[in-house]
Structure 1
Amino acid sequence: MKATVGRREILRGSALIGGSLALSSFFPTWARTVSSGITAPLPTVSGQDIDLTIARQSMMIDGKTFQAIGVNGTVPAPLIRLREGQRVRLRVNNRLDEDSSIHWHGLLVPPEHDGVPGVSFPGIRPGDSYLYEFDVKQNGTYWYHSHSGMQEQEGHYGPIVIDPAGPDPVQYDREHVIVLADHSPLSPAAIFRRLKVNPGHFNFQRQTLSGLLARRDQPLKERLDWGKMRMDPADVSDVTGSTYTFLVNGHGPQDNWTALFSPGERVRLRIINASAMTTFNVRIPGLTLQVVQADGQNVRPLDVDEFQIGVAETYDLVVRPADAAYTFVAEAVDRSGMARATLAPRPGMLAAVPELRKRPLATMKDMGMDMPGMEGMNMSGRGVDPSAEQNASSRLGGSANAATATSTNGKTPAGGMAEMGHSEMAGMDHGSMQEMGASSSAATGHSGHQMGSMKMRDFGNAPQVRRDPGVQTISPMPVDRMGDPGQGLEEVGHKVLVYKDLVSLERNPDVRAPSRSLDIHLTGNMERFMWSFDGQKMSAVHDPIPFTEGERVRINLINDTMMAHPIHIHGHFFELVTGHGDHSPRKHTVIVQPGGIATWDFTADAVGDWAFHCHLLYHMHAGMMRVVSVRPKGAAA
């Protein structure tokens, strides 16, 4: 068998003394190959009338049997292939002994067909069926999954490809759909129970005291401050490779799912992160990745070497492989494992599998406390100097992107600050950091966490956030992180995609300036595994976030936690505020980096109630979900 990592040279030599098979078990699952490559395509359904049946089943992963929930007997569920402009009827039959549902992730459908029990429809009872029927208004790469219980974790997910009604601006000769996922022998209920008892249960890479003290790349005071807060810099992922096997199209790393091509072809890869809890860093060593689509929306082609894909995001790539095999690497963000596949011109070919890279550790920036060039700056409040705001507005290319709207709490929106460079921030009048620490303590009555003169639980920075044990920290000075590559990718030595690189291929459909701005804080208590928006969890009695039909609103997502969150809104797309004017990238899901701000504009053009949530499954289940209610014009408040 051909070597897949450098260390396998050891195996090759050991084979001479009969140790090859025995020693192979010492290598991690992603570094072993027991299959010469599975080349079977995903099962596909299409047409105007489609039947889907949800049922329990077993599945084989790396030669082992796992329990799962499949659709039409497969995990992932069948690829649904549609065409823009058609009408489709999807009859979904529930053969489980519990309620189920299907949400068409990223598709613009009527609210009653969006598939969220308790929000837009009652769900599908055991033994019953439900007819989803809607016009297909878009094209691109999307996916579908259960919104009932935690069934996604068990395999209830599948891809959607919608072909454009006219010519496709993306030129390619062959395509492959790649569905990334994570699967565990534990039930979702068992995983969630362990997280509630001990949020670090699955973190086998956590920092020890000796390891913390031994870090020479971090000042001693900073290391001790982490310890005071009882927070672990290695706490990057809640659920890890200690229980997960990371999958490509339902196959583990040893299965080695293989995508075939002919040398010289332009190969389109439609990549979907359908995992429950895993952010992946994706690369194909030896190939340049041309990004052509994000969340189903065409973008100007952009060459990168690697990109981070959050749960529920999709990216389309075009690659031009030569007559050789290549390893597709989707490395878990915490480096606890990888999903792995092969691109090859012929079955049975293998390429080297790179070793897992060094685990990332959270930094002061992830705590919302990394402010380069702070010398001489005053920071007692979060208002901005009008001249600095005007400069920031002009940098955004006009009123359509100017962060000048008034927020609901009467303050300048965080997005205005987020768009400024450090040189512009230097002109801001903010009082002293020491004063901020003292005044906030007196005003709130909370001692909170304190690092130097900065307080980590100052509700003066987030007056709308509910004062609750579920809010452990509030970032003292969150910053725009839309130009960051994502945790673990800051110094990899090659080109990594960042959100600010994305530019819409077509002009945005609505380029009006926002009429108002709304700050939404991502809040949580990592020690107790509690998650929320503005300190408020989803409850049986909806407390919706209201919007009026047709209004244009700027949303500032402010991450007060030390974990990244992929935030998704149903029924709408939004435009990221990254300085690209009327060609801002349009998405339905965005990763909000820890201690960071993600700003987007959207048009509330779909009347009804819509789910709005973190797409980390157990964060959503623990409370990080709300309802967005778009009310008709003229309706009573």
Structure 2
Amino acid sequence: MSLSMKSATRGSNLPLIPRRKFLTGSAALIGAAQFPMPAWAKGKSLTHAGRGFGTLSGEDIRLSIGNSHFTTGGRSGHAVTVNGTVPGPLVRLREGQNVRLHVTNTLDEDSSIHWHGLLLPFQFDGVPGVSFPGIRPGKTFLYEFPIRQNGTYWWHSHSGLQEQMGHYGPLVIDAAEPDPRYGRDYVVLLSEFSSLHPHSIMRKLKVSEGYFNYQMQTATHGDMPGAMRRMWGGMRMNPRDISDVTGATYTYLVNGHGPADNLEYLFTPGERVRLRIINGSAMTFFNVRIPGVPMTVIQADGQDVHDVEVDELQIGTAETYDVIVTPPAGAHALVAEAMDRSGMGAATLTSEAGARAQFPALREPVTLTMADMGMADMAGMDHTASTPGAVDHAAMGHAMPPAPAAKPMPGMDHSGGGMNHSMRDPSNLPPDVEVGAGVDMIAPMPVDRMDYPGLGLDKVDHRTLRYTDLRARKADHGVKSPTRQMQIHLTGNMERYMWSFDGKKFSAVADDPIRFAYNERVRVKLVNDTMMAHPIHLHGHFFELVNGAGHGEQPRKHTVIVQPGSTATFDLTADEPGDWAFHCHLLYHMHSGMFQVVTVRPLGGDA
């Protein structure tokens, strides 16, 4: 089977691309690719990128990728922009239309655009080496496909680390039938900017995974008894290791604006406003709140859910949530606090132009617990439980199964020497998980934490969103039950900054894909053996979270957060044929190997 680039720009009834032909060119997805020195690095004068974005709509849309210079607050550096702005333009489409997106690459290196969350022929998904070859310098690629859905999504580069430098933007698809529940809507696109080039960030993480963490606990930290400090020290782990890249180098942005820019969202008192919250960051989970103003969640990842009223929600990298608010007159702080509490994005929701809200101070840093190490049964002996961010399972509304009285803990040294820092006990792993240099921890007792609101939000005194709150607004009781199950481990070596699935770093040439038969229904269990939360994204599909919802009422998502030392399960109907990327959406984790290809083929079809 073959597919020319000419045919790849037309229609949707296209033959499938043989995997190995295109995967041989995809090693640049993961490795530190070697490019010729780009023009910006040679001292060439660059135009200054604009903050924020314009709006593009219609049947034919033109986008141009280029180099720019970007400044926010006290930070300034190189940016990769689309149509000259950070973020790039809002692409606003309508359900049922056809769209032709002409994307021109003016960089000195290959580029791409992935349409995050869209259902489309896989040849237009925009992942170099998986679904197309990429866009060469000076070339234009035509993406053409029908719009089969509505909701809030976004787009971004899938080439190298360009996404970190500003190559991303929002995408909104208006429903065929207008929604009468709100009077106006705004995009709230959360991201970050660093004056450091992303390859420099990557190098620093490889040298020291805690390079950007200025909130490490000291040996004499008053909130942690000596025994617990020795336990963490013996594992060479730090309970403040929440985010790899932090406010030490990041300025957190809302629609391209830093906190000092005083971005405003205007409203009329009594008006219901829809906020389309998109986490378009490279590495940051955000806790979003508008103090004093409740938020009603109406969509998750562009899919309708039953209304859930909350005061704060955590949004993982690559997720989207749509909320409706009815703020009273005045100026209200819209706060997007980084999960590790090293900084925040900020904007003002106001009924009076020029008014600036009073913003809250950053809260105390988050501290990991035994549950985040996959040892929930030992949570009762975790003396850090009184610190911010600790897990109180009773408050979470569920009971953990008690540990058997004489059961030894995997990885525990009961001779008094503390805990084996590697915590490697492969006896409970499937045989295809490789336990080598790339794996420095195996969660001994991971449990489902769908009802956990996210690191740092389990002890707050107001309402927070949990996956268990989500129910599909349009139930499909005819959906079939899964016919098979599979388990995938999220693995890593934090000290060496190596990330993987099942202990295997992605290799474009050698790897065998995750295989699904077309239209089969599979239950997939993700087991997080690491102490970091991972937002796992599947291209080209929606899956249903196994979150306690009734049959046919499970919420549909394209990205799921798997909490540290925990599991998350979803049901997938593999009804989109082709080759699709499946990866952690933390950019440097994907770049380091936590990436795989999912291939969907008819039974007996060409693999």
Q: Which TM-score band applies after superposition, normalised by the shorter structure?
A: 0.7 to 0.9
Q: Is 1:326 matched with 2:337?
A: no
After superposition, residues 166-245 of structure 1 pair within 5 angstroms as: 166-168=177-179, 171-211=181-221, 214-215=222-223, 218-245=224-251
Matched, 1:274 2:280: yes
Shift in CA distance, 616/454, structure 1 to aligned 2, threshold 3 Å: closer
Task: Select the residue among 563, 566, 578 that pairs with 1:608.
Answer: 578
Map of 2:470 onto structure 1: 502
Give 1:354-369 correspondences, 5 Å limit. Answer: 354-369=360-375
1:57-96 counterparts in 2 under 5 A?
Answer: 57-62=68-73, 65-96=76-107
Q: Is the 8 A contact 1:433 1:454 kept in 2?
A: no
Partner residue in 1 for 2:308: 302
The worse-fitting range, judged by mean Cα deviation, of 486-495 and 170-179 is 170-179
Which residue number in structure 1 is paired with residue 455 of structure 2? 487
State the 1:496 CA deviation: 0.6
| TM-superposed deviation, 1:635 | 2.1
Distance 1:509 1:143 in 2: 30
**Match for residue 542 of structure 2?**
573
Structure number having the greater helix percentage: 1
- Residues in 2 aligned to 1:71 and 1:453: alpha-carbon distance in whole angstroms: 49
2:564 alignment partner in structure 1:
594
What pairs with 1:136-155 in structure 2 (closer than 5 Å)? 136-155=147-166
What does the per-residue CA deviation read over 1:570-598, in whole Å, with 9 as the maximum and x for residues that have no partner? 01101000111211111000111101111
- The 2-side partners of 1:517 and 1:189 are apart by 38
Counterparts of 1:525 and 1:513, CA distance in 2: 36
Identify if the C-alpha distance between structure 1 residues 40 and 204 changes in structure 2 by more than 3 Å, giving closer, same or farther.
Answer: closer
TM-score by length of 2: 0.85
What is the CA distance between 1:62 and its match in structure 2? 2.6
2:490 matched to 1:516? no
Question: In 2, are the aligned partners of 1:295 and 1:589 still within 8 Å (CA)?
Answer: yes
Partner residue in 1 for 2:429: 462
Return the match for 1:47 from 27, 47, 58: 58
CA contact (8 A) 1:436 1:453 kept: no
Contact 1:290–1:301, Cα closer than 8 Å, also in 2: yes
SS in structure 1 at match of 2:261 = coil
User: Counterpart amino acid of 1:343?
Assistant: L
Are 1:352 and 2:358 matched, yes or no? yes
Against the structure 1 CA distance between its residues 454 and 606, is the aligned structure 2 distance closer, same or farther, given a 3 Å change threshold? same
C-alpha contact 2:433 2:489 (8 A) present in aligned 1: yes
**Deviation per residue, 1:156-175 (Å, 9 max, x gap):** 0000000111243x610011
How do 1:281-296 and structure 2 match up within 5 A? 281-296=287-302
Matched residue type, 1:566: P
Q: Any idea what the Cα deviations from partners look like across 1:423-466, whole Å, max 9, x if unmatched?
A: 7x46x9x795228669xx9xxxxx9x996699821111213310
Per-residue displacement from partner, 1:127-169 (whole Å, max 9, x unpaired)?
Answer: 011000001010000000000000010000000000111243x
CA distance in 1, matches of 2:198, 2:104: 22
In the alignment, does 2:600 pair up with 1:630? yes
Distance in 1, matches of 2:417 and 2:98, equals 57
Structure 2 regions of 5+ residues with no counterpart?
1-49, 382-396
CA apart distance, 1:607:
1.1
Aligned residues: 539
Contact 1:433/1:453 (8 A) holds in 2: no
Helix, strand or coil at the partner of 1:487: coil
Q: Does 1:107 align with 2:118?
A: yes
Instruction: Describe the superposition over 1:39-94 as per-residue Cα deviations: whole angstroms up to 9, x where unpaired.
Output: 99740000010000000112231365432111111111100010111110001000
The whole-number CA distance in structure 1 between the counterparts of 2:136 and 2:65 is 11
Aligned CA distance change for structure 1 residues 341 and 454 (closer, same or farther; 3 Å):
closer
Per the alignment, in what secondary structure is the counterpart of residue 142 of structure 1? strand
CA distance in 2, matches of 1:145, 1:489: 29
State the 1:604 CA deviation. Answer: 0.6
Match of 2:28 in 1: none
Partner of 2:341: 335
SS at match of 2:241: coil
Given that residues 455 and 476 in structure 1 are in contact (C-alpha distance below 8 angstroms), is that contact kept between their aligned partners in structure 2?
no
Alignment check: 8 A CA contact 2:104 2:139 kept: yes
Distance 1:196 1:249 in 2: 30
CA offset at residue 634 of structure 1? 3.0
Q: Check the 8 A contact 1:461/1:474 in 2, yes or no.
A: no
Structure 1 residue ranges without an equivalent (≥5): 1-38, 376-419, 442-446
- Contact 1:372-1:422 within 8 A present in 2 as well: no
**CA deviation vs aligned residue, 1:83-124 (integer Å, no higher than 9, x gap):** 111110001000001100000000011111000001110000
Task: Indicate conservation of the 8 Å contact 1:107/1:142, yes or no.
Answer: yes
Task: Name the CA shift for 1:46/1:509 in 2 (closer, same or farther; >3 Å).
Answer: farther
1:477 lines up with 2:445 in the alignment = yes
What is the letter of the counterpart of residue 513 of structure 1? Answer: S
1:165 equivalent to 2:176? Answer yes
Q: Report the 3-state secondary structure (helix = DSSP H, G, I; strand = E; otherwise coil) of the residue aligned with 2:258.
A: coil
Letter in 1 for 2:350: A
Equivalent positions of 1:385-464 (< 5 A) are: 422=399, 425=401, 432-434=406-408, 456-463=423-430, 464=432
Residue of structure 1 in register with 2:17 after alignment: none
Q: What is the distance in 2 between the residues matched to 1:43 and 1:636? A: 43
Structure 2 residue 530 is matched with structure 1 residue 561: yes
Kept in 2: contact 1:105–1:143 (CA 8 A) = yes
Query: What is the alpha-carbon distance in structure 2 between the residues aligned to residue 156 and residue 131 of structure 1?
Result: 18
- Structure 1 pair 538/568, CA: closer, same or farther in 2 (3 Å)? same
Say if 2:235 and 2:421, in contact at 8 Å, map to a contact too: no
Distance between the aligned counterparts of 1:609 and 1:485, measured in 2? 33
2 CA distance for matches of 1:432 and 1:600?
Answer: 33
Check whether the contact 1:101–1:148 (CA below 8 A) recurs between aligned residues.
Answer: yes
SS at match of 2:220: helix
Q: Distance in 2 between matches of 1:183 and 1:226?
A: 32
**Structure-1 separation of matches of 2:521 and 2:140:** 37
Offset of residue 221 of structure 1: 2.4
**C-alpha separation in 1, matches of 2:64 and 2:447:** 46
Q: Show the counterpart of 1:28.
A: none
| Residues in 2 aligned to 1:373 and 1:54: alpha-carbon distance in whole angstroms | 49
- Could you list the per-position Cα deviations for residues 311-332 of structure 1 after superposition, in whole angstroms to 9, with x for gaps in the alignment? 0000001000111000100000
Structure showing greater radius of gyration is 1
Aligned to 2:588, the other structure's residue is in SS state: helix
